[in-house]
Amino acid sequence: MHLTKEEERILEGGQGYASMKSMQILTALGDIFGADKLIPVKSVQVSGVSYHNLGDAGLDYLANLAKDGSVKTPTFLNPAGMDLKDWKELGISEDFAEKQKKVIGAFSKMGINTTCTCTPYLIGIKPGLGEHVAWAESSAVTYCNSVIGARTNREGGPSALASGLIGKTPNYGLHLDEERKPDLFVSVDSKLKTLSDWGALGYAIGKRGKNKIALIEGVSKPPEDYLKTFSASIVTYGSKPIYHIAGVTPEAGRFEKPSERITIGEAELKEAYEAMNDKDDTIDFVSLGCPHASLEEIKRVSELLKGRSVKTELWVACARPVKEKAEQLGYNDIIREAGGKVAADTCMVVAPVKGRFKSVATTSAKGCYYSQGHNNMKTHIGPIDKCVEAAINGKWS
Ligand code: F3S
């Protein structure tokens, strides 16, 4: 990969330790993937924020970079292991909270915006069509490439942070026109009605289209929230972090239909639902907001909970600015009065919930994947109203 004189100077340590380390990471990546050069990025999203995933080794790594590192482009964070303010409500221990605060402190010292969310595009961090960014969380990356039409690879935590500290990323993969071309044509032969139907569609395509880019036909334009859950699901279950939907996503019209074709119909969606719905109907945890909830979703949960009370633990995860807005509008009070919690900055997967719950109900296919594999939970997936009923009854009906 070609480096400018200035980039070479950084690589040799001319701008200090954090910049040198970051340039080492970016040049190694660029060389492995055949990038020609580094390109500037408009924003960066860093993953690997939860102390649950980082541990002390990760915290030490960040603390070292924070000694002389500072970001060169707007940089923000993926969800952390707790609500940074109301962590006690979520049953987080003092020890964990102390470590998590140190992690956030290290990021903050590097000039990073400590808003922790996987739906930055809901809080005004929305790049333009064709703009280059370096984002790390898979659903955000997929939404960014597909729905917004901005360009990012699926960065790892260290490479995203390196991009923040340098302000650039290697020019390869989904930054290039030719790498965004679909190679699987998907015809959808089913009427999708709910948020979880879109999660099931992502499961069905992801499982069949391993590492391919889908060009999808046969669906009409859904609400933004449905595309956010679909983005999380399709990449989790196997496809590349980009898809195109005819008449819906901005780049779909640029491409020829790929010759490899599949059809997803009722049978494939049923199979997806069956894989994510356990036979045991007992529920002790209901988690909504994966990816992080919009204001509309929080409003809907508050309407469904008004005057009722939950039997299970119930979290509605979201970005802090969304929680604050929901607070002003009175939605959070209704959810709290029913016994639920609105959890900013965190989520069901990165919070330390392993061992606390046996069975989760959620609207999210991605949430099912990680709850089964990462947190050893049984899972149930369905629309918001069904999940809220499960929270009230402790049963999946
Ligand atoms: Fe976001 Fe956590 Fe789901 S990062 S996509 S809420 S697993």
What are 311-360's pLDDT values in tens digits? Answer: 999 999 999 999 999 999 999 999 999 999 999 999 999 999 999 999 99
Q: Based on the fold, state whether residues 284 and 270 are members of the same structural domain.
A: no
Ligand 1 centre distance from Cα of residue 214 (Å)? 22
Q: Based on the fold, state whether residues 188 and 162 are members of the same structural domain.
A: no
User: Residue 239: its pLDDT value, please?
Assistant: 82
Domain count, the chain: 3
Q: Based on the fold, state whether residues 153 and 64 are members of the same structural domain.
A: yes
Instruction: Please compute the mean of the pLDDT values over residues 238-258 and round it to a whole number.
Output: 96
pTM above 0.85, yes or no: yes
Q: Is residue 199 scored above 90 in pLDDT?
A: yes
Amino acid at 107: F
Summarize pLDDT for 7-62 with one digit per residue, the tens. 999 999 999 999 999 999 999 999 999 999 999 999 999 999 999 999 999 999 99
User: Residue 210: its pLDDT value, please?
Assistant: 87
Ligand 1 centre distance from Cα of residue 162 (Å)? 22
Q: Based on the fold, state whether residues 315 and 171 are members of the same structural domain.
A: no
Ligand 1 centre distance from Cα of residue 229 (Å)? 10
Domain that holds residue 95: 5-177
Ligand 1 centre distance from Cα of residue 53 (Å)? 14
Q: Based on the fold, state whether residues 270 and 289 are members of the same structural domain.
A: no
The sign one gets for the Cα dihedral 108, 112, 115, 117 is: negative
Ligand 1 centre distance from Cα of residue 367 (Å)? 7
Q: Based on the fold, state whether residues 285 and 378 are members of the same structural domain.
A: yes
Pick the closest to residue 71 from 112, 99, 103, 39 (CA basis).
112
Ligand 1 centre distance from Cα of residue 349 (Å)? 7
Q: Based on the fold, state whether residues 157 and 213 are members of the same structural domain.
A: no
SS3 state at 76: strand
For ligand 1, mutation pick of 139, 360, 375 (most atoms within 8 Å of CB): 139
High-pLDDT (> 90) share of the chain, %:
99
Average confidence score pLDDT of the chain: 97
User: Residue 226: its pLDDT value, please?
Assistant: 97
Contact by Cβ (8 Å): 300, 102:
no
Pick the closest to residue 144 from 128, 123, 156, 162 (CA basis).
128
User: Residue 332: its pLDDT value, please?
Assistant: 98
For ligand 1, mutation pick of 83, 349, 368, 377 (most atoms within 8 Å of CB): 349
Within 6 Å (CB) of ligand 1, which residues are found?
A: 78-79, 118, 137, 139, 232, 290-292, 317, 347, 349-350, 366-367, 370
Nearest ligand 1 atom, CA 138: 5
Q: What is the DSSP letter of 316?
A: E
Pick the closest to residue 280 from 390, 373, 364 (CA basis).
390
Last residue of a domain, one of 275, 296, 314: 275
